[in-house]
A and B are shown apart, each in its own frame.
Chain A
Amino acid sequence: MPEAPAAPGMKIFVVDDQEVNRYLLTVILGQLGHEVHVAANGAEAVEQFMQISPDMVFMDVMMPVMDGYEAATQIRELVGDKFVPILFITALRDEASLVKALQHGGQDFITKPFSHAILRAKIEAMQQQMRMYETVRLQRDQLAQYQQRISHEHQVAERLFQKILHSGALGHPGIRYVISPQAIFNGDILIAGFRPTGQLNILLGDFTGHGLSAAIGTIPVSDIFQGMTAKGFAISEIAVEINKKMQMVLPRGLFLAACLVEVSFSEGLIRVWNGGVPEGIVYDAATGQIRARLHARHFPLGLVGTEQFDKSLDIYPIGPADRLLMFTDGVTEAANPAGEVFGDARLMDVFHHDGGGRADDLLDRLIEELAAFRGHQTQSDDFTLAEFRLAELERLPDTSAIRTSHGLSQRAFPHAQRDWTMDFDFQHRVLRVLDPLPLLMQMLMEIQQLHSHKEQIYLILAELYSNALEHGVLALKSAAKNGADGFERYYSAREHALASLQTGFVRFHFESLQSDTVSKLIVEIEDSGEGFDVNRCIQSEADHTEYHGRGLPLLRALCESVQFNDKGNKVTAVYCWRCGDTGNAGQAGSGLFP
């Protein structure tokens, strides 16, 4: 604790119209080791005060020109913040005058005739007060400095968190979100990113507890999410990893309520894993109709161990005008001055406003309603609210390679040499638990400088693999996906069939060919299924209104050639590019949405 040093010798200013008093005080105070300055009346004292800058003032009351009261008042104004005690010198005995002296800013008074001992005692008492005052002043200044530093650090931290948590795809015009500054420091987190194959992964989370400890936890979450999304992992796998990490780092009682969503444009559906976040809403912006609520079926992340963790997903179909609204409990639990909470019912009212109809401005209306409901209590704003305009977010994986591949003929490839081949055979027991795509992608990227073609290659593998697994090994029929219910049935059938898979395999063969000017990657994939009628399938390609059936045309667009064997259980796709072509010339604009 800081303390002002003791001041044995002070500068004392004696103001008295009687020379004898000035003389006496000068002698006595001088003997006590102080430096003495004198003035003969109040006006003189005020005039000289700033120049002398004394530590203490002895002030007579009755003086010509300006009396002691007035002088004391003016001196108080001059010193401002600094503590300079004024002691009134008085022969007065009446209480009223003494009170008046104190009221005019005097700290104390001394009476004539002067007593050496009393003077000394009073000066020491004043010095004690001055030290205390100085200590308080120092602490106040330090506190102010500290406060300033903290508020500066908060600003820096806020910017930092904004960068960490709100990078990725959140800048996309199809995403609108509000996250209150308070919410950032209370551990709300919103992240979104595109997978190499074009799906959008979203995470909205809310840590239990408040303050720094909650906020810090968002950093590893963001790292895992963004890293795995870029590598092409599905949200179920990301949820498993984040859960594992949270179990490891969070103390008991702290956990992350989170909702993960994966928007698959090519399939026209979203997959959802919700652990403890209020039910998000999928709605049709054209009609205002609510199509689905994203139910919370799981424990929040970090609450149970991996062996108990349930990574199963819910699947909801989406249409072209659909939007997804997600929010934290700060929205439903926002309170008005009477202590009532906003609640889900009021949220629904916003949807049913005007008896339905277009819901283009729903997010704005909701924000307005919320602000109106809360009244002036905006200080404790602690919510995150995000809207995703699904159709606008559709991003085709880069298909710029098409230009190149169309321009190539077999004759341009006479002196090709095989660089490497690679074979994999995944049997049913592995297929049950492993998604081989991220693994294969990583290997391909390690072997050859394919990074600029990563998105295309991933898409080709993903289409080939899901076809082989779902229609080959699991023998599911695409047509089962028809209609809104069909979707859910299809994917729960897929999940069920995969979990109980007793036989079957998927084999991959990779081959890389190089000439001076052209590179080719040949991917062959074979499954244990019955195969299918290749011709019939190609016939139905023209029909674009179905929920399914977009895989093959996409493959053909990306690859130089796609060939099935007669049985239909083996596909050979050839991806081709010119040496030096980065493959990332531009974004494809055509939409996959029906």
Chain B
Amino acid sequence: MRVSKQLSPDGKHLTIKVTGRFDFSLHEEFRKAYEGMGPNGTSFQIDLGGTEYIDSAACGMLLVFRDAVGGDHADISIVNASPVIKKTLQLLQFQRLFKIT
């Protein structure tokens, strides 16, 4: 499993962790990780601590994810990204769409 998820006991906080290469091959797995989580006040954390590499297709997947869980009202933070991945995300201005810490 390259995508793992963990829901907090109160069900209000979902962490999705991606390890290895985050690219289009994870499309299905990644989508399944947030399946059924509509815009219902849950906060999300994408943990890229174990991610070695991210491609633009994965960035597209992050956008689809953001739309699915509430778009502009979604509470999503991206954490533990490596400097290179952070740079990629910033190049695409993703800091304006996600909290990147």
User: Nearest chain B CB to A232's CB is how many angstroms away?
Assistant: 29
Q: A276-B93, A299-B93 are in contact. Are A208 and B84 (CB under 8 A)?
A: no
Decide if the interface of chain A is mainly helix, strand, loop or mixed. loop
Q: In the assembly, what is the distance between CA of A278 and CA of B87, in Å? A: 10
**CB–CB B56/A296 < 8 A:** no
From 334 to 355 in chain A, residues with beta carbon under 8 angstroms from any chain B beta carbon are 339, 341, 343
Q: Does B56 lie within 8 Å of A208, measured CB to CB?
A: yes
* Chain A interface, number of residues (Cβ within 8 angstroms): 25
Decide: B24 and A254 in contact? CB cutoff 8 A. Answer: no
Total A-B pairs, Cβ < 8 A: 53
B94 nearest in chain A by CB position = A299
B interface size (C-beta, 8 A): 18
Smallest CB gap from B21: residue in A: A339
* B7 at interface, CB cutoff 8 A: no
Q: Does B61 contact A (CB under 8 A)?
A: yes
Assembled-state Cα–Cα distance A542/B59 (Å): 54
Among B60, B63, B67, B84, point to the contact of A209 (Cβ < 8 A).
Answer: B60
Inter-chain contacts of B63 with A (CB < 8 A): 252-253, 255, 303
Residue ID in chain A nearest B62 by CB atoms: A253
Is A275 close to B, CB under 8 A? yes
Residue of A209, A300, A329, A341 near B57 (CB, 8 A) is: A209
Nearest-Cβ distance from residue B3 to partner chain A, whole angstroms: 16
From A209, A254, A257, A341, give the contact of B92 (CB < 8 A).
Answer: A257
The answer, yes or no, to whether A206 is at the interface (CB within 8 Å) is yes
In the bound assembly, the distance between CA atoms of A297 and B52 in angstroms comes to 25
Known: A210-B57, A299-B92, A300-B92. A341 touches B84 (CB 8 A): yes
Q: Is the C-beta of A548 less than 8 angstroms from some C-beta in chain B?
A: no
Q: Which residues of B contact A303 (CB under 8 A)?
A: 63
A131 partner residues in chain B, CB cutoff 8 A: none
Decide yes or no whether A298 CB sits under 8 A from chain B: yes
Q: A343 with B24: in contact, given A208-B60, A276-B91, A278-B91 (CB under 8 Å)?
A: no
- On chain B, the residues within 8 Å of A329 by CB distance are 56, 88, 91
Which A residues from 245 to 299 make CB contacts under 8 A with B?
252-255, 257, 275-278, 296-299
Q: Given A208-B56, A209-B57, A339-B52, is A275 in contact with B93 using a C-beta cutoff of 8 Å?
A: yes
**Residue in chain B with minimal CB distance to A276:** B92
**What's the Cα separation between A257 and B96 when bound, in Å?**
16
A253-B63, A253-B64, A257-B56 given; A299·B96 CB < 8 A: yes
Residues of B within 8 A of A253 (CB): 57, 60-61, 63-64
Q: What is the CA–CA distance of A303 and B59 in the complex, to the nearest angstrom?
A: 11
Cβ–Cβ < 8 Å partners of B64 in chain A: 252-253
Chain A residues near B24: list those with CB within 8 A. 209-210
Measured in the bound complex, the distance between the Cα atoms of B16 and A463 in whole Å is 57
Q: Which residues of the other chain, A, contact B88 by a CB distance below 8 angstroms?
A: 329
With a CB–CB cut-off of 8 A, which chain B residues contact A278? 91
A277 to B87, CA, bound (A): 11
CB-nearest residue of chain B relative to A343?
Answer: B84
Q: How far is the CA of A254 from the CA of B91 in the complex (A)?
A: 16
B60 contacts across to A, CB distance below 8 A = 208-209, 252-255
Closest chain B residue to A279 by CB distance? B91
Chain B residues, CB < 8 A from A257: 56, 91-92
A206: chain B residues at CB < 8 Å are 56
Residues on B with beta carbons closer than 8 Å to the beta carbon of A298? 93
Min CB–CB distance B95 → chain A (angstroms): 11
Per the bound structure, the CA–CA distance linking A300 and B59 in Å amounts to: 11
Q: Which residues of A contact B96 (CB under 8 A)?
A: 299
Measured between beta carbons, the chain B residues less than 8 angstroms from A255 are: 60, 63
Interface string of B68-101 (1 = CB under 8 A from A): 0000000000000000100010111100100000
Chain B CB count within 10 A is highest, among A255, A276, A277, A278, for A276
Sample of 10 further A-B pairs with CB below 8 A, known A253-B64, A299-B96: A209-B60, A253-B61, A254-B60, A276-B91, A277-B91, A278-B91, A296-B90, A298-B93, A303-B63, A329-B56
The 11 sampled A-B contact pairs (Cβ below 8 Å) are A207-B56, A255-B60, A276-B91, A296-B92, A297-B93, A299-B92, A299-B93, A329-B56, A329-B88, A341-B53, A343-B84
Which 6 residue pairs across A and B have the least CB separation, nearest first?
A: A253-B60, A208-B56, A253-B64, A276-B92, A208-B60, A209-B57
